[in-house]
Structure 1
């Protein structure tokens, strides 16, 4: 990871993304939502299942390289490389934080 100064919940997300779905779920509020690949995953159980399914299908690494803010959201650009079609790809992660946790995340190309 580069020397970006990511807010703590976002840094924890990218760190946990390399470990396991349970660690990743702890980064979110109980009512959080994740939008990825045209699907919305609401609540911790759904977020945990989403990450478990992605981890079972693909091996990948994420390397955040840019951070900006827009209308109360933190937008992280990250290079994702792995054994999935189209790798590597730069993805846009749009985070909304609430009480020190991630309340929403939208991942787009």
Structure 2
């Protein structure tokens, strides 16, 4: 997918390399992530959350489609979790080169 915003492409690359530090640096310092009914506030919480998930599930992402107008990514994720693979929707609020909000549905 050539038309992904640079920060989204960076997020996918960081996820697929299990690099929680690079993943967290795709976000603004005060960003918020909503996932599985939980809220992760700020870059440190986001780093800790994705590091824990990476260690537990080794999840990789394969983008399927990106809707630029709505800042929505649909991606297949696979890893060592029940039900793998799944298709999830990532709803972003991107300002400049940083993600300010991410809702994973």
Please tell me the TM-score bracket, short chain as reference.
Answer: over 0.9
Spell out, residue by residue over 1:25-81, the C-alpha distance to the aligned partner (whole angstroms, 9 max, x if none).
Answer: 1101011010111100010110000001101111222100101145xx410000011
Counting matched residue pairs gives: 104
Instruction: Give distance in 1, aligned partners of 2:93 and 2:2.
Output: 18
Unaligned runs of 5+ in 2: none
CA contact (8 A) 1:36 1:107 kept: yes
Partner residue, 1:107: 104
Normalised TM-score (structure 1): 0.90
Compare the two structures and name the one with the higher strand fraction.
1
> For 1:99 and 1:81, how far apart are their aligned partners in 2?
29
TM-score, normalised by the number of residues in structure 2? 0.93
Kindly report structure 1 stretches of 4+ aligned residues shifted beyond 6 Å.
none
Corresponding residue for residue 58 of structure 2 = 59
Unaligned 5+ runs, structure 1? none
User: CA–CA distance in 1 between the matches of 2:58 and 2:43?
Assistant: 22
RMSD: 1.1
